[in-house]
Amino acid sequence: MTDVTMTINGQTRSASVPPETTLLQLLRENFNLTGAKLGCDVGDCGACTVIVDGQAVNSCLMLAGQADGRQVLTIEGLASREHLHPIQKAFENSGALQCGFCGPGVLLSAKALLDDNLDPSTQEIRDALSGNLCRCTGYTKMIEAVQEAARLLREESRTQLTHARPEVATP
């Protein structure tokens, strides 16, 4: 058995699991975080995407032990009790998901992109989502939603900047 401890959605969680346990299994079976989906289990579909230390990863390809001591964000940690994350809001407003099976993975791939780049080009968005297969939507509205989310997040960071600006004494 391997002992693992990691921060998941801001909370420290520990488990003792067989060494071959994937991060996806750990999340779904030990921690009951079933937002990340098991689509293929071999890294083809992206339905299991979570963010580990700022990077979008296929959690079916990562061992639980490899995530030991790291920061993990799953879809359950994206919205707060009060409101949806701007990416979720944008996806909802543009009808960017249909069956939603690919959704948790797509949203986290989009988040990893936007954490890095608040003004991505269409090509950069296509690249960021290329590991997330979607059978329903044709990706078109997802790409629009990521653009919209980027706009919302830019606005948010602008207002935060203005609010955070220290009082400057006028000469």
Partner 1 sequence: MKRRGRGIACMWYPIGFTVSANPSAATVKMNEDGTATVLTGTVETGQGSLTVLGQIAAEALGIATDDVHVVSADTDTTPMDTGAIASRTTYVTGNAIFLAAEAAKAILFEAAAPMLDVKVSQLEAKDRKIQVKNYPQRNVSIGEVALRAQAVLGTPAIGSASWNPPTVALDPETGQGKPFATYVYATQIAEVDVDDETGEVEVLRIAAAHDCGTAINPMLVEGQVEGGISMGVGMALQEEMLFDANGRHINPNLTNYIMPTSLDMPEITVDIVQGFDPTGPFGAKGVGEPTAVPTSAAILNAIHDAVGVRVYSLPATSEKVLTAIKAKRAAEQKQIPA
Report the C-alpha gap between 8 and 74 in whole angstroms: 7
Report the C-alpha gap between 45 and 105 in whole angstroms: 9
Choice from 3, 20, 44, 116 touching partner 1 (CB under 8 A): 44
Q: Which residues in the 124-143 window bind partner 1 by CB under 8 A?
A: 125-127, 129-143
Establish if 21 lies at the interface with partner 1 (CB under 8 A). no
Establish if 99 lies at the interface with partner 1 (CB under 8 A). yes
In 18-167, which ranges are E strands?
A: 49-52, 55-58, 71-73
Report the C-alpha gap between 171 and 164 in whole angstroms: 21
Binding flags for ligand FES, 126-145, as an x/- string (CB under 6 A): --------xxxx--------
**Residue 143 binds which one of partner 1, ligand FES, none, with CB within 5 to 8 A depending on kind?**
partner 1
Residue 53 — left, alpha, or beta (φ > 0 → left; ψ -120 to 50 → alpha)? left
Contacts with partner 1 by CB under 8 A: the residue count is 29
Report the C-alpha gap between 37 and 46 in whole angstroms: 9
How is residue 45 written in tokens?
A: 């579909």
**Residue 102 binds which one of partner 1, ligand FES, none, with CB within 5 to 8 A depending on kind?**
ligand FES
Residue 104: strand, helix, or coil? helix
Q: Which is nearer to partner 1, 11 or 123 (CB)?
A: 123
Establish if 87 lies at the interface with partner 1 (CB under 8 A). no
Stretch that binds ligand FES, among 27-35, 45-53, 63-71, 75-83 (CB under 6 A): 45-53
